[in-house]
Amino acid sequence: MLHDFRNVVMKLPQASGNRHPPGQGTGKGDAVRLVHTIFLFGILVTVSIPPLQAFLQLPGSVLVTITSPASGSTVYNTITANASVNSPGATVAGVQFKLDGLDLGSEDTTAPYSVLWDTTTTVNGLHTLTAVARDAFNNRFNSDPASVTVVNGNPVVIENQQQGSPNWQMWRPGYRNADDVAKQINGYGSATSVNKGDSITFHVTVNPAQAYTMDVYRMGWYQGLGGRLLQHIGPLNGVQQPSCPVDTGTGLIECPWTASYRLTVPRSWTSGVYLVQLTNAQGYQNYIDFVVRDDGRPADILYQQSVTTYQAYNNYPDDGVTGKSLYDYNSYGPNTVTGTPRAVKVSWNRPYTHDGSGDFLRWEYYCVRWLERSGYNVSYSTDVDTHENSARLLASKVFLSVGHDEYWSKQMYDGVEQARDAGVHLGFFGADTLFWQVRFEASPMTRGADRVVVGYKEAYSLDPVQGPTTTTAWRVLNRPEQTLVGVQYSGQLFPPNQNVPYVVQNSSFPVLSATKPTLRCRQHHSRFPFLAHTRCCRNPRTLMAPVNSCLRTRRSTRHQAARGFSAQERSPGVGDWIYQASRIGASNRLPRICSIGSWVKSRKDKTLCVWGSKPSG
């Protein structure tokens, strides 16, 4: 006996996930199959016979993924959004991108699927981007959402509108600075800089073993508070890491510490100098210093943090027993190949001495505050980045070397020289710039590239590498710094004459022409006390450099050898300018001296504006 019940509809439940049609094409998106129920020989048999549509397209067979921009990214200007579709056995008719649920452009019907997005038509802030694939039967398949932050205009200005915090400072009541003897808490990073979206590993030791926290601050203006808390980490379980061995020949010190925490830098973070504030359970604190780069965003100004010079002077651990730097005055322990205690190799695989910030807070921090308060469009990097990829300078109008930037590799010198010849303006807001040549080497401990700085200096005859990269003074190599910088180091000022006046010698100098006529900087021989500090440069007439002297430190018999000049030059046949402040204090003290603040601001603003970089607002 045979009974045939045709056109009986069976609905199969919809699977979870995002690979299936969300309520389009076949009713509510459930798979539909015709069912033939046959009673044959007393046995009930159910046979599912799919129609053509169900046969060609099974639920869950299409996967849509946004490949760029990545979720968490910051976007600006016009970008291309891309999506991939994995659709075995299915025909994709097109992909429609959606921004906050609304169509973004037209449907793209040809793989690879993409859409141009002019983000300037979108309000700044957080938005949701999705991609919806459509098959030949109008079933639709959604991607997972990608959250992106639109930032148009100057990201530094937008960033500094966020709420700052003064708690990055380590001298607050109830907290104490860790030291290199007891080593209550110290740490270092696996890199001097990291691009947005990449990771950096921190190595931390505590004594005794105890819990600790990490607070990541970006340094800037922030309503005058100087920093902004981006991330709080911990508490983490701290351990006392092993001591740091010393190489008996070179004096190299590297700390073989296990990894304590790995930070993936969010793509929404703004390029800048970051301090990680380490705090142990006993209230001792220390810093780890690193830079966040934004390799995908050209900026008017590229700021170079002078971490190679930080490391040259770094004698961690400064315990009076084992610490070594490239200097004898703060090196201890047995003599090295130089015949003195100083090292010829130093490594970033160890903390910076004292507060852990290197020389950032000493020489560069106030310049960063001033740049960001003024609203300049600036991106940040380190001299290691210049060494590894100097071509990145070509994306900016101005290259800034700030503070105490004494140690350069040949790759750095060559790269900045090439950038100058390509029309990039150079600004040296400091002194004693480009005095020593160094080399970078891989770490013998980790094999990480460019983690060791080599500097034989006066003992260059002992350097195993003889030739253009021998590590000694650039003047010895017949490449004096004046040929690039415009002036060169002439001496050092010591107490009680460490701070000397800044004297106007040429009030018609172009940098000063933007200042108000009533300001003293427009008057010949005007003196500004306490502005020249520690080290100064001058312009030896025996060396070639097209320099116009405009200001200099006050002459006297006590510091005549160290008198310095500010200089601006223009390279023949090239549209670039070079400005040299010629004293270390120029980067740090100028924004802090209220009595000449208006002159200081206009002087720097004029320099940068002449070069095509203007503050926002």
pLDDT 10s digits, 489-529: 666 655 665 556 666 666 665 555 544 444 444 455 566 65
Burial degree of 6 (CB within 10 A; 0-12, 13-18, 19+): exposed
92 versus 55: the higher-pLDDT residue is 92
Between strands 78-86 and 63-68, the pairing is: antiparallel
Whether the per-residue pLDDT at 584 is higher than 50: the answer is: no
Arithmetic mean of pLDDT over the chain: 80
DSSP letter for 473, please: B
Distances (CA, A) of 456 to 350, 428, 448, 460: 20, 25, 21, 5
Burial degree of 88 (CB within 10 A; 0-12, 13-18, 19+): exposed
pLDDT band at residue 565, thresholds of 50, 70 and 90?
A: very low
Residues paired with 227 in a beta bridge: 219
320 versus 527: the higher-pLDDT residue is 320
C-alpha to C-alpha distance for 563 and 538, rounded to whole angstroms: 7
588: number of Cβ within 10 Å? 25
**Are the C-beta atoms of 225 and 164 separated by less than 8 Å?**
yes
| Best-predicted range by mean pLDDT (49-53, 528-532, 565-569) | 528-532
C-alpha to C-alpha distance for 331 and 315, rounded to whole angstroms: 6
pLDDT band at residue 88, thresholds of 50, 70 and 90?
A: confident
Whether the per-residue pLDDT at 61 is higher than 60: the answer is: yes
Nearest to 239 by CA among 283, 215, 207: 207
Between strands 301-305 and 176-177, the pairing is: unpaired
Whether the per-residue pLDDT at 260 is higher than 70: the answer is: yes
| Best-predicted range by mean pLDDT (5-9, 397-401, 532-536, 582-586) | 397-401
Helix axes 597-610, 365-374, angle to 10 degrees: 70
Residues across the chain = 617
486 versus 81: the higher-pLDDT residue is 81
C-alpha to C-alpha distance for 303 and 252, rounded to whole angstroms: 29
Residue 428 is predicted with a pLDDT of 86
Residue 493 is predicted with a pLDDT of 58
Whether the per-residue pLDDT at 590 is higher than 50: the answer is: no
Whether the per-residue pLDDT at 616 is higher than 80: the answer is: no
pLDDT band at residue 403, thresholds of 50, 70 and 90?
A: confident
The predicted model gives 11-34 an average pLDDT of 39
Secondary structure (H, E, C), 134-182: EECCCCEEECCCEEEEECCCCHHHHHHCCCCCHHHCCCCCCCEECCCCC
The predicted model gives 311-336 an average pLDDT of 98
The pLDDT tens digits for 95-136 are: 999 999 999 999 999 999 999 999 988 998 899 999 999 999
Distances (CA, A) of 545 to 398, 429, 550: 20, 18, 15
DSSP H helical ranges for 409-472: 410-421
The pLDDT tens digits for 173-230 are: 889 999 999 999 999 999 999 999 999 999 999 999 999 999 999 999 999 999 999 9
Structure-derived torsion over alpha carbons of residues 336, 342, 343, 347, reported in degrees to the nearest 10: 150
Q: What percent of the chain has pLDDT over 70?
A: 69
Quickly list DSSP for 398-412: EEEEEE---EEEHHH
Phi-psi region of 269 (alpha: psi -120 to 50; beta: other; left: phi over 0): beta
C-alpha to C-alpha distance for 237 and 235, rounded to whole angstroms: 7
Whether the per-residue pLDDT at 65 is higher than 50: the answer is: yes
